[in-house]
Amino acid sequence: MNLDELYQEVILDHSKNPRNKTELENFTHEAKGHNPLCGDQISIQIIMKGEEISDVKFTGAGCAISTASASILTEAIKGKSKNEIEKIFENFHNLVTGNKTEEDLGKLTIFEGVQKYPVRIKCATLSWHALMAAINGEKETSTE
């Protein structure tokens, strides 16, 4: 199995069995992300204690890439601070748009392949836009 196939497997696994796809009780912030290209929506709920995101869950319907991305996002950001998450998102955005990243993004690297498919970039970033909106106290955002 080459690296591309391995990445495909991980994306498939997370889209079929998404982690943390449920409502979060006692959330402090929530925002809905909307992809105008396809109409898909993903909502992110977080519990923010001071600057730290202590828990995160998502709901909504999207394609395999947006679902897998939301699932992996929840694993990647739990316990991180707002500043750390902003940095991760900046690097993740650079990764999927084909720009240079400054840090090793670990599992998030599996989305590197979407840079070849511009329409898919919005799928991979949908949940991230929702997360950033939630962190910043907004209720809704769109990938436009």
In the complex with ligand FES, the residue whose CB is nearer, 29 or 60, is: 60
- Residue 15 within binding range of ligand FES, rule CB under 6 A: no
- Amino acid at position 129, single letter: H
List C-alpha distances in Å: 128 to 3, 5, 66, 116.
Answer: 24, 24, 10, 19
CA-CA distance, 144 to 6, in Å (whole number)?
30
* Contacting ligand FES within 32-51 (CB under 6 A): 35, 38, 40
Q: In this complex, which beta carbon is closest to ligand FES, that of residue 44 or of residue 126?
A: 126
Sign of the Cα torsion 72, 56, 78, 90 reads positive
66 near ligand FES, judged by CB under 6 A: yes
Smaller CB separation from ligand FES, 48 or 121:
121
**Subset of 80-99 contacting ligand FES (CB under 6 A):** none
Taking CB under 6 A as the binding criterion, the range among 21-29, 58-66, 88-96, 101-109 that sits at the site for ligand FES is 58-66
Report the amino acid identity of residue 12.
Answer: L
* Identified binder of ligand FES from the candidate list 31, 46, 53, 65, rule CB under 6 A: 65
Residue 79 CA to residue 72 CA, distance in Å, equals: 14
> Binding of ligand FES at residue 60 (CB under 6 A)?
no
Residues of this chain that interact with ligand FES (CB under 6 A) are 35, 38, 40, 62-63, 65-66, 123, 126
